[in-house]
Amino acid sequence: MPKHPDSGFDRVAPFYDKLAKLIYGDALQKAQLFLLPFIPERSKVLVIGGGSGWLLEQLILTGKQLDILYVDAAPGMLERAKQRYKGITQPHSCQVTFRLGTEATLQPHEQFDTVITPFLLDLFLPQRLQQLMQKLTAALTPAGNWLFADFWPIKQPTPYWQKFLTWSMYTFFDAVSSVESSKLPDYGRHFQELGFKETSSQSFYNGFVQAKVFMRK
Ligand SMILES: C[S@@+](CC[C@H](N)C(=O)[O-])C[C@H]1O[C@@H](n2cnc3c(N)ncnc32)[C@H](O)[C@@H]1O
């Protein structure tokens, strides 16, 4: 049993990035890169579920002056992100705080101009996802951006190969990382219910992956 809540990705931390690259090439990274221009200069950014730190390095490479809180539930993932950060040699003006834990660790006074959920929201059953998204909504300033990247088939009905990939991922991550959900959430409904509208969007990997910017209506 994992010691920390939601820490099941600890078991895949040593090989998660290689596995994702093997299956998706650079599509998951391209989806996240699409989001970076939407981060304002000199702003506070929450990255939740960032994994081993690739995205953190990209945030720093933007050259923007960012105050970043990097939260991940898996000790192995967070440790990798810290090591990656230590390896960045170029001068930059970002301030980074690492935090082991989940959205539950966010305090009411912690407010962010940007919240990034990179391939995080697909992990949760609807009720838990609703609670998590409510918590992140509370942490986002009124004019803030929610930067989303995840598996979200754009074509309906969903092509068979996308159904197969979805099933394979949930079967694998249920077995090794105790992911409880077994189907992709209705992200659109959750954002709608929380009062968000989509302001930008792009699809990747033949429409299986989408990156989107949400703001309050
Ligand atoms: C599917 S991986 C994605 C990692 C990374 N964003 C990427 O795209 O390579 C999901 C990440 O979310 C983390 N995670 C899962 N539940 C979490 C939670 N409730 N709060 C914070 N991080 C969480 C996992 O430890 C893992 O690092």
pLDDT digits (tens, 9 = 90+) for 63-93: 999 999 999 999 999 999 999 999 999 899 9
Domain ranges of the chain: 7-216
Which protein residues are within 6 Å of ligand 1, measured from CB?
6, 9, 20, 28, 48-51, 71-74, 77, 102-103, 118-120, 123
Q: Which residue has the higher pLDDT, 4 or 19?
A: 19
**CB proximity list for 5: less than 8 A, separation 6 or greater:** 73, 101, 102, 104
Residues 6 or more apart whose Cβ sits within 8 Å of residue 187: 121, 148, 150, 152
Which ligand 1 atom is nearest residue 51's CA? Answer: 27
Q: Which atom of ligand 1 is nearest to the CA of 6?
A: 16
Confidence check: pLDDT of 51 > 90: yes
What pLDDT digit, counting tens, does each position of 200-215 carry?
A: 999 999 999 999 999 9
Atom of ligand 1 nearest to the CA of 103: 20
Q: Tell the residue nearest (CA) to atom 1 of ligand 1.
A: 119
Q: Is the pLDDT of residue 3 over 80?
A: no
Question: Cβ distance 112 to 69 under 8 Å?
Answer: yes
Mutate to test the pocket of ligand 1, among 28, 36, 46, 120 (most ligand atoms within 8 A of CB): 120
Residue 5, pLDDT score: 85
Q: What is the pLDDT of residues 92-131, one digit of tens each?
A: 999 999 999 999 999 999 999 999 999 999 999 999 999 9
Lowest mean pLDDT among 5-9, 119-123, 192-196, 206-210: 5-9
What confidence score (pLDDT) does residue 1 get? 52
Determine the distance separating the centroid of ligand 1 and the alpha carbon of 43, expressed in angstroms: 22
Q: For residues 116 and 35, is the Cβ–Cβ distance under 8 A?
A: yes
> Whose Cα sits closest to atom 16 in ligand 1?
6
Tell how far the Cα of 119 is from the centroid of ligand 1, in angstroms.
7
Q: How confident is the model at residue 2 (pLDDT cuts 50, 70, 90)?
A: low
Residue 216: phi and psi, rounded to 5, are: -70, 145
What pTM was computed for the model?
Answer: 0.98
Q: Which CATH architecture has domain 7-216?
A: 3-Layer(aba) Sandwich (3.40)
pLDDT in tens, 135-171: 999 999 999 999 999 999 999 999 999 999 999 999 9
How far apart CA 20 and CA 22 sit, in angstroms, is 5
